[in-house]
Structure 1
Amino acid sequence: MHDIRIIRDDPAAFDAALARRGDAPVSSELIALDTRRREAIQAAQNALQERNAASKQVGAAKAKGDEDEFQRLRALVAEKKDEIARLEADAKTLQEQLDDRLMRLPNTPDADVPDGADESDNVEMRRSGTPPSFDFKPVEHFELAAAKGLDFETGGKLSGSRFVVLRGAVARLHRGLAQFMLDMHTNEHGLEETNTPVLVREEAMTGTDKLPKFGDDSYQTTNGWWLIPTSEVTLTYSVSGDILDEATLPRRMTAHTLCFRSEAGSAGRDTSGMLRQHQFEKVEMVSIVHPSKSRAELDRMTGCAEAILDRLGLAYRTLSLCTGDMGFGARRTHDIEVWLPGQDAYREISSCSTTGDFQARRMNARFRPTDGGKPEFVHTLNGSGLAVGRCLIAVLENGQQADGSVILPEALHPYMGGKTQITAEGILA
């Protein structure tokens, strides 16, 4: 959420920043709305002063026996009371309108974020690893003989399209990947393992910029809870309303949860296999940091996600997203795309972003400087570390053999009971 005071101070700069994301100028509209709000507040304060002054004079008029003046002042007090209530109600309505408008505006990009309209304008930062070469035509994950445990038919029978049931060796691999990621993040990257709910109150979704703009992208229960699209929501909102001691920063957390997305607007995209599901699992990373550390923390977080792929021996590339492809709340985003031989393409497996104080303002999360200064807003960051299902796809496709079996990365052997492959019959061996 944006600070209207910053917009008032330099409206041209604010409009220019939003223009980089393809948004029309809005500062004049916001400032006009804010001016009306402040005028209503000032008018209410003036009316309150007038009422208080009249109230003090009522007793004096009564004591003098001046009935006409007494009645006039009583009527004035009542009139001002009604006027104050009306003006305060107007100010509240205008505040709600301003807040709603501000909440629907995307974050402003950092100055060094590349300009661009869509994903074709993203800038590749680096590549790691070499895509495997095959002496046969590689297939997609759902075509592999070893992936017999991917049961889309039963998933569809239970829940409809974009759901899958995992069985046997594939289910074990999926579980092992999540445990492997958590172990790396907690043992090597210094993140605190956290287990959070997947049902949250509306305030948590609003505070982490998922509402009100993107309500159609998530699921809401009949009694008002929301199913989380990622544990970014729960991990980040865990510090809402808090004033943290600066000495406790940074706070680095990780969680493995179910995630739910309606995939609104994705009709016809990635309909085969399990690349794009309504229900999936992800190991998320969230950092709460001092404002001066957020850019360095983004690089660190990106490195944590890359380290998972390095350990698994998977080839990937890291991109700096352009202004037209960044998410709504992001100030800067690094995407990691893993190589999928079956698609002969790199596909997203992690997205790491700094939101600056965008989320912190919405949820009023601050820290108290060690020098005793005024509390300041923290900066929040989030990133996939990694999407478990997409990592499963990558392991299956990159490890595939001519006979339909899959060789598993060495790093996963301890999580698979010492087994090193999934046979063409779909059995761990």
Structure 2
Amino acid sequence: MTQDHGFDTLAIHAGAAADPATGARQVPIYQTTAYAFRDAEHAARLFNLQEVGFIYSRLTNPTVAALQSRIAALEGGAGAVCCSSGHAAQIMALFSLMEPGRNIVASTRLYGGTITQFSHTIRRFGWSARFVDIDDADALRAAIDGDTRAIFCESIGNPGGHVTDISAVAAVADAAGIPLIVDNTLATPYLCRPIEMGATLVVHSLTKYMTGNGTVTGGVVVDSGRFDWSASDKFPSLSAPEPAYHGLKFHETFGALAFTFHGIAIGLRDLGMTMNPQGAHYTLMGIETLALRMERHVANAQMVAEWLQADPRVDGVTYAGLKTSPSNATAQRCYPKGAGALFTFAIKGGYAAAVKLVDALQLFSHVANLGDARSLVIHSASTTHRQLTEDQQRAAGAGPEVVRLSIGIEDPDDLIADLDQALAKATA
């Protein structure tokens, strides 16, 4: 199985083959913590990173490995490292790049939990983040200094559905000699392949569209394999001798897979943010129908957004698929298959009306999740973004009057009818 195959073929076959022991066609759930070594020499070679294999399931597991191969193929990457959640994936992506005193430049249009992670939590590692308008190349360049080690953005932003011109951001990162990390959760590789646009690393919350059924949490970091980690002294974890492996240099030894091997041999070994094999199995099954689901998600989102835009009880809709959206040209150029299925709308009546609408919806599930087959709703200002100031909320597209919708794959007429009755109650 190669990346030359079509997307739908890769989504079903990449990383998976009939089990050699039993002939099982679906990837088995390898529910084991450890693996028997052939002999002492075999064990030593595995621990020295001289041979690829399975040691302990905190590091590697055959079910998880199959998922890693499939996602790397779909994203066009050299390798991937799966972990326990999307937030874990973000820390894993930074872990190999950062040291105390270093910083990243991040988009202001990020999920509220990511803004909190970057504003507060990463400071405990001695790292920091500078938030800028990702569409402003001059602001990006001005925010980068000698201690900057990455730019971070979302392909399609949460909660407003903002679409990023990844190629433009990648040009700034390339000029600065630093990697671009793109969270591709909302677009999935079906709508967008950031590596083809110049991204160095791609992260996902596999909890969302990739699994698609709201059953597991998971994350992944996909390595493009294209960044020269030895071009400067900025990334010693990858270019300099590693004491824990007798002076091995990851980039010199593993080349295009340097980041992937470091993420497993150091990141998972020491941080322990491991994905469980059953969760990997669910995600493998979910990915098999990714293209079909994303087509329906996008078609439904377009219909619902157009209906909301025409409703006099609504002040505005952020969906980039609308011709009136200021981001529509970018969406058509960079995301030709669609602008995703997550967006917000502002309801007349402010905070109080927004809360009433959420409580009045019957078909939409009020949950702190997105990317499910079911349509979901949340009032971000009182939940996922409540830790932020009102200025930060508005910058992230989560003002008090704003409701976020994740459009599922139900009958779109039923979704519109549910919104209609809820708007009537909220604005009465």
**TM-score normalised by structure 2 residue count:** 0.24
Larger RCO, structures 1/2 (Cα 8 Å, 6+ apart) = 1
More strand by share: 1
Q: Which has the larger radius of gyration?
A: 1
**TM-score normalised by structure 1 residue count:** 0.24
